[in-house]
Amino acid sequence: MRVKHKKWAAPLMEAHPELITLDPASFKGRWQERFEKSQPLQIEVGMGKGQFIIGMAKAHPEINFIGLEIEQTVAAIALKHALPERLPNLTLICGDGAGLDTYFEDGSIDRMYLNFSDPWPKTRHEKRRLTYKSFLANYQKVVKPGGGLEFKTDNQGLFEYSLTSLNNFGMVFDGVWLNLHESPENEGNVETEYEQRFAGLGQPIYKLTAHFPGE
Ligand SMILES: C[S@@+](CC[C@H](N)C(=O)[O-])C[C@H]1O[C@@H](n2cnc3c(N)ncnc32)[C@H](O)[C@@H]1O
């Protein structure tokens, strides 16, 4: 998500250390202290402006959620949206999904979400795709045995790439939907900002759920 750099972004984040951190490695091993209760932990990598992760935290008070976003201004917009909600089961990170193993202890996350990740269509940018094998290896470390990954996108090319990448990595698919909004899987679906936009244009939404081998 590209947005214009805003001067207020960094100061706003610095003013709200109770809800967002720019130094996620400093919380390694103690993320549960960021929440009112110790509960299962789920994370979205690339939360954008936070619509999905805030919606999930409202819909599932029995789960703790972390939204992670690399772009400072985008993360600050998510923070702006989250602040008035005062959700005891949500915390945010401004950081890089490539650093998950430096932010989280092995096996500490129950479920991961990737929603409408940047497609990086050029082959020379493959390593930047959030479903590239080096990212999957990183996710595998931090996700609990038995925990899984959910991925939604409107982008057919990225979806096909991700199916192949996860399959080559040895991940086990639990479900694949080629038109989420027309399927029973859509019940209870929390829409992301991009999902609303593309579904509104009549585009099908693709979804897969999978878990790592040996689980
Ligand atoms: C296309 S937007 C989708 C936002 C949101 N998930 C949605 O569905 O509305 C993808 C977001 O992922 C973020 N992103 C890309 N690479 C990332 C990374 N390595 N770590 C964290 N966030 C990343 C981008 O900055 C962007 O805000």
The full set of domains in the chain, from first to last, is: 106-215 (3.40.50.150)
C-alpha to C-alpha distance for 42 and 109, rounded to whole angstroms: 6
Active site residue 154: no
209 CA → ligand 1 middle, Å: 18
Nearest-atom number in ligand 1 for the CA of 44 is 6
Q: What are phi and psi of 95, to 5 degrees?
A: -170, -175
Tokens read off for 131: 């479903």
pTM: 0.97
Those residues whose C-beta lies under 8 Å from the C-beta of residue 212, and which sit 6 or more positions away, are 139, 140, 143, 145, 147, 148, 170, 171, 172
Query: Is the CB of residue 192 below 6 angstroms from any atom belonging to ligand 1?
Result: yes
Please report, in tens digits, the pLDDT of each residue of the chain (215 residues total): 778 898 999 999 999 999 999 999 999 999 999 999 999 999 999 999 999 999 999 999 999 999 999 999 999 999 999 999 999 999 999 999 999 999 999 999 999 999 999 999 999 999 999 999 999 999 999 999 888 999 999 999 999 999 999 999 999 999 999 999 999 999 999 999 999 999 999 999 999 999 997 65
Query: Is the CB of residue 43 below 6 angstroms from any atom belonging to ligand 1?
Result: no
Nearest-atom number in ligand 1 for the CA of 194 is 9
Q: What share of the chain is helix, strand, coil (3-state, %, to 5)?
A: 40, 20, 35
The answer to whether residues 49 and 134 touch, using CB atoms and an 8 Å cutoff, is no
Query: Is the CB of residue 97 below 6 angstroms from any atom belonging to ligand 1?
Result: yes
- Of 138, 128, 113, the C-alpha closest to 210 is 113
50 CA → ligand 1 middle, Å: 10
For β-strands 20-21 and 90-94, DSSP reports them as parallel
